[in-house]
Structure 1
């Protein structure tokens, strides 16, 4: 089972992608929700807000402890910032991945963009990438491998137990990165339906109105 940190940010979009791969998933709001998980996705959102909520709930310490006990982690965008050991102009949060990262490296929300890239370790065909106020990863430490290097930065990196992406795979039809992380966690996946995906599919996971 894979967990989704559910404190702030893009949770339901990841749930939709995991569901299409036939992967059991759980929202993580407290320490007990981490029990029995093989992996945890830390989603995009606002890194300062997420970091503060992690500290308030004590989940920062619990996630670090569970990670050292074997829990695999994947941070997307803000999640990647929270995982980094070095944050340019800021303080690290979980500090588990030996990289340096720069927040909002592409500009404002208005500078968000979509592109395509080949990531041979992840898929044999081009993968769509969505950047929203994205960071840039640089200065990879020992044991950290680049999965996608673009110009002067790394867009996707990993070590043996952590995956980090500066973009949002959950906002595209592609299941490639979710499948890749599941396999990293030792979880088998279904083929998944990318052609039938619609951006509004995730709405079935949204809270019902009161």
Structure 2
């Protein structure tokens, strides 16, 4: 089977770390800044950063509606931290003019765990990830207020990792830890989607 091509939305945030994690997880990562670059992708990662800035830049680069369309068409996508917010259908406390790509039936709260100086790490049991707890790095992280998606992990009763169909989102930053198991889970989701498309094509 060919190596899947996974884009990393490279408008703002920890792009380089996701590129490295995807490589370790067995994907061929590429950066994405223009709408036409979406056409060659098997999957997409939306990195952490500042969700309002990512939203505004996606709009300015003409990416917002093409991203929504690809997600509606079934493109696998994974969002970490700000990326989780971008994949939410609704933000509880959006900044003025803030928009999302959507796709996951959830309501998220921005900066739910506090500001930068309240960042923390926690060991998490993540459904679908074998080999023991995942080290979760939470930096101005959101949490999920309510969702119809499958909850994969929680902190103090708040969902911090969810999956809905081909979409995955985490409040935390696995790309910062050197543990690539969450990215491997996503790359497996991408491979499954590629195989399904191949079978339909046959």
SS in 2 for 1:79: helix
Matched, 1:183 2:188: yes
Bigger helix share: 2
- When normalised by structure 1's length, the TM-score is 0.84
Alignment coverage as a number of residue pairs: 185
Per the alignment, residue 3 of structure 1 pairs with 7
In the alignment, the residues of structure 2 paired with residue 138 and residue 186 of structure 1 have an alpha-carbon distance, to the nearest angstrom, of 30
In the alignment, the residues of structure 1 paired with residue 87 and residue 36 of structure 2 have an alpha-carbon distance, to the nearest angstrom, of 21
Q: Which of 4, 15, 22 matches 2:19?
A: 15
Matched, 1:93 2:97: no
SS in 1 for 2:141: coil
Coordinate RMSD, CA, aligned: 1.3
Unaligned runs of 5+ in 2: 193-202
Per the alignment, residue 117 of structure 2 pairs with 110
Per the alignment, residue 176 of structure 2 pairs with 171
- When normalised by structure 2's length, the TM-score is 0.88
In the alignment, the residues of structure 1 paired with residue 169 and residue 63 of structure 2 have an alpha-carbon distance, to the nearest angstrom, of 19
Matched, 1:55 2:79: no
Q: CA deviation at 1:92?
A: 4.1
Output one character per residue of 1:32-60: Cα deviation in whole Å (capped at 9) or x when no partner.
11122111000000010000011111211
Are the equivalent residues in 2 in contact too, given 1:84–1:92 (CA < 8 A)? no
Poorly superposed stretches of 4+, deviation over 6 Å: none
